[in-house]
Amino acid sequence: MLSSPRPFPVVISAPSGTGKTTVVSRLARQHPELFHVSVSATTRARRGNEVDGVHYHFVTQEEFTRLIDAGLLLEWALVFGRHYGTPRREIDGAASQGKITLLDIDVQGGTQVLASVPGAVSVFLLPPSMDDLRGRLEARRTEGAETIASRLREASREIEQGIAAYDYVVVNDDLDACVGTVWAIIQAERARTWRLRAPCGSVEGVNEAWCFQSMM
């Protein structure tokens, strides 16, 4: 018999300023029984009131290198001289509890996850327009004109990659509507027949290779 869907990671990416962290946080707050928000490892220094294990797993460069060499990172990248990556235990631990992992990461990391985890779902969030994105970045009042221009150039590149590589594209022109659409996508993915929980190989046409736990 088919019953509960197997857990799977959901990658959510977007250009800086589009609101992906807000969307991920809203989903996790609305459905804490279903979602686990992945916490990335980083070699950068802790800032302000950041808490180790909550905002990031803060590690030394030596420890990060060890994680890479041991194959314990699902994805990783060097960003502005500091390493960032997703520990595999973030997804393994959530899956053991029957939870879906939400990954708030950039396109570079997202494409690595999609390549290494069959069955992962990817959602790329778009701003209503580049002018709107510029306005959001300027409203932060934390960056100068040159930095904002650089971010917009990077956003154009990310949008091109995201549209080409991701499963779904959602425009974040209204937060409630955007969160609702992403939630609907996840619900639809949970209803896919090959994700439904059943003993591996016990349902005709369902091969063990599709069992999520055997992928990890």
Architecture of the structural domain at 10-215: 3-Layer(aba) Sandwich (3.40)
The pLDDT score that the predictor gives to residue 176 is 97
Distance set, CA 85 to CA 56, 77, 151 (Å)? 10, 6, 21
- Measured CA to CA, the distance from residue 121 to residue 1 in angstroms comes to 24
- Measured CA to CA, the distance from residue 210 to residue 173 in angstroms comes to 36
The pLDDT score that the predictor gives to residue 133 is 82
**Contact predicate 136/172, CB 8 Å:** no
**pTM score of the predicted model:** 0.82
The pLDDT score that the predictor gives to residue 209 is 43
Distance set, CA 201 to CA 3, 91, 207 (Å)? 15, 23, 5
The pLDDT score that the predictor gives to residue 203 is 39
Residues of the chain with pLDDT below 50 are 201-216
The pLDDT score that the predictor gives to residue 202 is 42
The pLDDT score that the predictor gives to residue 125 is 96
pLDDT tens digits, 113-128: 999 998 999 999 999 8
What's the per-residue H, E or C state across 65-118? HHHHHCCCEEEEEEECCEEEEEEHHHHHHHHHCCCEEEEECCHHHHHHHHHHCC
DSSP states of 105-169: --HHHHHHHHHHSTT-EEEEEE-S-HHHHHHHHHHH--S-HHHHHHHHHHHHHHHHHHHHH-SEE
Tell me the domain boundaries of the chain: 10-215
